[in-house]
Structure 1
Amino acid sequence: MADKSVDGVTFSAAFLNSGEADRLHAKAEVEAERAAKLAQAAARAPNGGAYAADGPAPPVQGALPMPPGFVGALAQFIYEQAPLPVPEVAIVGALGLMAGIVGRAWHTPAPHAGLNLYVVLVARSAIGKEAMHSGIAKVITAAMMQCQVAGNFVDFNDYVSGPALVKACAANPCFVNVAGEIGHKFLAMSKDNDASMRSLRKVLTTLYSKSGPGNVAGGISYSSQENNVASMQSVAFSLIGETTPGTFYDSITDSMMRDGFMSRFCVIEYGGDRPEWNATPVEHPPRELVEHIARIMAHSDLAIGGDKFQEVAVSEGARATLDAFRLECHHAIIAAGDDERKRAVWNRAHLNALRVGALLAVGDNYLNPVVTAEQAEWAVMLLRHGVVSFLKRLDAGEVGEGSDGGREQKVLQVCRDFLLMPPDKLPSWLKHGKAMQEAGIVPRRYIQQKTQRLTAFENHNLGHTAALNMAIKTAMTNGNLLEVKKEPLVEQYAFFGQAYRVLL
């Protein structure tokens, strides 16, 4: 290093070199101290970092089985502490909490992705979705007694702009944001006239893939340099939230599907009704669970501080399961052709399954994590469940702006609903509704009323009526509907409007 002058004062090269040497020496001492603490923590960890519970958790009936191992025990507690217990709610909460803790310090094999997750729970109102929030809060509160940094891994703040989220990640490189009614946030991000929410969507899209070793997330530059935020390395931001079907699916636009935003999310839908009341909810998590998760938190904190990363290994059985799912996703994308929405649904399903499997492995043994065949099978089952549910919504024309085929299917579903309707539920304006049902005839007025508030029709660029006309025309062209002539409608049913006979 050469001599350097600052404000007329010259510093010799020897002086500058000695300062740099001192800085490097101090840095090396800090890194060595952190490495020693990691080694000591690993040596003290009971069972070699493996989770040991008192016994297997009782089975839970639901569309989704509980995950195996420690994450399953975590989900079981969230389930048992809920006044209205729902397995899907507990599973999303457990996965989100684990992703917030281990998202940065551990990563998958190639493509060396961190273990952060974006998960949305979709369920009807009043089924107990808030148990996800309360269960996570109880685990964090209990863990803070043994690990002071436990609260760093979870965040309940509401971020309303991209810069706000970037600043939060600059201050904390590994955490999960637990969002309430995330569907409203999706709705705001779908609007082109809200610059703040548009920037949030862009940042969310970027952060998903910035958690692995060596990944860099961009900072923020302002005109006032003191407000700038420097670029960040390996940011593991996770996001979980709950919402209702109408709010969530209506908010998704075609651009959200095309630009890869939606492909980053695991969408878990609970289609059941309100569960039975839990009269004896568990108040506190089991001691073994708290002790184990506190050890994982402490280990993760040391690894983050020392900028250390550990790869999660994959067993041969797990690799076979994950490779088969990757091939399934590959063929599904090809089969989707030019339908960008369906391509997006499958695009990152394999990567998310790999991340989920790795999360389960770290939960079971954070010092030597290996994804087992059982963990891989559960992860693939979870992602396939979400993909199939979302595709059904797409095909039914219930997602965002919809498609011509989706709107046709929705019209046909409305027609089927009319034909299966109990006689006492038929519209009062129909004089001979039962007879029309028996003849397989559906009034256009009924179809129009049932579709006028659906986003796929209401938000069509030509308006609801034009969208409905095109959907009915498509159904007639495809041989699914036939317009009934006016004369028999008037003579036989005293109906003076348009109606269609269902040919399915």
Structure 2
Amino acid sequence: MTPKPNLLPPNSALRAAVDYIRDQATYPIEEVALGAGLGLFAGIAGRAYQTPGRMAGLNLYIMVAAPTGMGKDAGRQGMYSLLDAVVRGENPHAAPNMPSAREFIGPARFASVPAVMRHLEKVRSFVSIMTEGGKEFSRMTDPRASSHDRDVATKWLDIYGSSSFGGVVGGTAYANASDNIGDVVRPAVTIYAEGTQKTVYANYTDNCVSDGLWPRFMMLDRNENDWPQINEYPQYEPSPELVQYLTALCERSHTLNQQDQVVQVGAADDARDALAAYEKETRRIMETCGDDVVRALWTRSALRAKKLASLVAVGVHFDMPTVTLEHALWAINLERYTVGVVIGRVSRGEVGGDENNELRQAEELKRTVVNYLVAEYHELSNAGRVTRSMHAAHIIPWSYLLSGVGRRAAFKHGKPNPVAALERTVRSFIDAGWFVEVDQATKQAHGKSGKAYAVTNAQYFLDRPDAEESKPTNPQFFTE
């Protein structure tokens, strides 16, 4: 696992915002402060600024996971406190200094896609703060969810990448033309969500990862055993310098948004090289990774690193932001760490509910059966457990299955134990007509006495894409 890096951004207004959110909290948590600081900056600058190279908006999807009672609400409180200071200005008794800054924090929840689009027609750059993010995503991704909730989740997929220069989210036509919703150009929606590890990771199902929803999120996972010390002297007000910078950034972003213009963040040559190297690194990981879920989790990492580095640069000089090598390396190290934490959870079987675990177990067993069917006898990893005649007859001993999948994550953490999980999965294969348990006489004829199963529908397994990749050149092997 990648060691935990320094989470705090390099010196910038973003760093000052993160420090304030941490220092105003009763229980200071770096993951919460970082997520909230990034969320606020991305909500303000997400549409007005674009990444170096291939342009993309700076909006982010962020999920903070921490146990109940650890102080997650400090993120939301800090974001509102900072923006309130911008609105109030230096004199809290005078008229609001910049009331339009309020628009950079949007609704916490949208009941339907039309509600999302109606708001985007009015405000095209904001952060949505979801205080119960785990439960909110459970509501949207549950197989029993309403069509409205599922449609909102699909819309978040669409909106994420639409902040790039030239991006558009298509509108909706209704029978009554007066209800039509037009196209929205370059909306930049940032999501800052929080939840407990239990509620958040229960939604890390294979489907939600493979369809791209979770890979879009940067996960800031606070170790459940790392409880913060109480802050006896919280900082109630942000510094005047930070408020002044945020006010100027809000004004600049608001003007750019109204004029439909953007500022592309620059990058020093060494920073550009570092970000390009990281993109190649993640591409190699995706090309060689054998796990679809793990592969999917890397898909947005390189782009997110560019966004993170760009937000630091905007926090240094919003008129001419330039990513330095320090900014780039901080973003890259943070990405390696955050993605690695989630992959660790996946490998230990700590994600998804029972239904998802059973789906993963079925997939693992299917892959084992495919490998058994397509491999030559001498290529079997546990050939000592199988006789040559059993392999030719498509009969798989229980001991072979147990040694093949029992230690894999999906079964290792299966409930109530790996053996019971495998027995349940094998029974489901029998019920589906893919397996049949062979009788004692058949086992003895093949020189074995333990439990064994005949593959009754080999073609089902051989038609899978992973079988096509492994088929030998001799087609006679596949005849029944």
Aligned with 2:248 (options 289, 295, 307): 295
Whole-angstrom CA distance in 1 between matches of 2:425 and 2:36: 40
- The offset of 1:405, in angstroms, is 10
Show the counterpart of 1:469. 423
Show the counterpart of 1:330. 283
- The offset of 1:273, in angstroms, is 3.0
Mapped contact 2:130–2:136 kept (Cα < 8 A): no
5+ long unaligned stretches in structure 2: 89-96, 366-408, 428-480
Mapped contact 2:52–2:306 kept (Cα < 8 A): no
Show the counterpart of 1:364. 316
Is residue 191 of structure 2 the alignment partner of residue 239 of structure 1?
yes
Is residue 131 of structure 2 the alignment partner of residue 180 of structure 1?
yes
Is residue 97 of structure 2 the alignment partner of residue 155 of structure 1?
no
- The offset of 1:464, in angstroms, is 10
Is residue 217 of structure 2 the alignment partner of residue 275 of structure 1?
no
Show the counterpart of 1:96. 39
Instruction: Give matches, 1:65-464, under 5 Å.
Output: 65-68=7-10, 69-145=12-88, 146-193=97-144, 194-271=146-223, 272-337=225-290, 339-400=291-352, 401-402=356-357, 403-404=360-361
- The offset of 1:222, in angstroms, is 2.2
- The offset of 1:344, in angstroms, is 0.8
Specify whether residues 280 and 248 from structure 1 end up closer, same or farther in structure 2 by C-alpha distance, changes over 3 A only: same
Whole-angstrom CA distance in 1 between matches of 2:414 and 2:19: 38
Show the counterpart of 1:22. none
Q: Which runs of 4+ in 1 moved over 4 A?
A: 405-408, 454-458, 463-466, 470-473
Whole-angstrom CA distance in 2 between matches of 1:102 and 1:66: 19
Deviations 1:422-474 (A, max 9, x none): xxxxxxxxxxxxxxxxxxxxxxxxxxxxx9xx99759xxxx99963536999x
- The offset of 1:226, in angstroms, is 1.8
- The amino acid that maps onto 2:9 is P
Mapped contact 1:318–1:372 kept (Cα < 8 A): yes
Deviations 1:42-89 (A, max 9, x none): xxxxxxxxxxxxxxxxxxxx8643101221111000000000001111
- The amino acid that maps onto 1:120 is M
Mapped contact 1:407–1:471 kept (Cα < 8 A): no
Mapped contact 1:407–1:457 kept (Cα < 8 A): no
Deviations 1:85-126 (A, max 9, x none): 011110000000000000001101332111100010111111
Whole-angstrom CA distance in 1 between matches of 2:73 and 2:51: 31
Specify whether residues 394 and 405 from structure 1 end up closer, same or farther in structure 2 by C-alpha distance, changes over 3 A only: farther
Specify whether residues 171 and 464 from structure 1 end up closer, same or farther in structure 2 by C-alpha distance, changes over 3 A only: farther
What fraction of aligned residue pairs are identical, expressed as a percent? 30
5+ long unaligned stretches in structure 1: 1-61, 409-450, 474-504
Mapped contact 2:204–2:351 kept (Cα < 8 A): yes
Secondary structure of the structure 1 residue equivalent to 2:163: coil
Whole-angstrom CA distance in 2 between matches of 1:103 and 1:455: 40
Specify whether residues 457 and 64 from structure 1 end up closer, same or farther in structure 2 by C-alpha distance, changes over 3 A only: farther
Mapped contact 2:5–2:337 kept (Cα < 8 A): no
Deviations 1:377-434 (A, max 9, x none): 11111111111000001101122124349999xxxxxxxxxxxxxxxxxxxxxxxxxx
- The amino acid that maps onto 2:227 is R
Mapped contact 2:5–2:333 kept (Cα < 8 A): no
Which deviates further from its counterpart, 164-173 or 67-76?
164-173
Specify whether residues 456 and 160 from structure 1 end up closer, same or farther in structure 2 by C-alpha distance, changes over 3 A only: farther
Whole-angstrom CA distance in 1 between matches of 2:70 and 2:423: 37
Q: How many corresponding residue pairs?
A: 363
Secondary structure of the structure 1 residue equivalent to 2:161: coil
Whole-angstrom CA distance in 2 between matches of 1:472 and 1:246: 28
Mapped contact 1:394–1:406 kept (Cα < 8 A): no
Larger Rg: 1
Mapped contact 1:221–1:229 kept (Cα < 8 A): yes
- The offset of 1:252, in angstroms, is 2.2
Secondary structure of the structure 2 residue equivalent to 1:350: helix
Whole-angstrom CA distance in 1 between matches of 2:99 and 2:206: 44
Whole-angstrom CA distance in 2 between matches of 1:192 and 1:472: 25
- Normalising by the residue count of structure 2, what TM-score does the alignment of the two structures yield? 0.71
Show the counterpart of 1:33. none
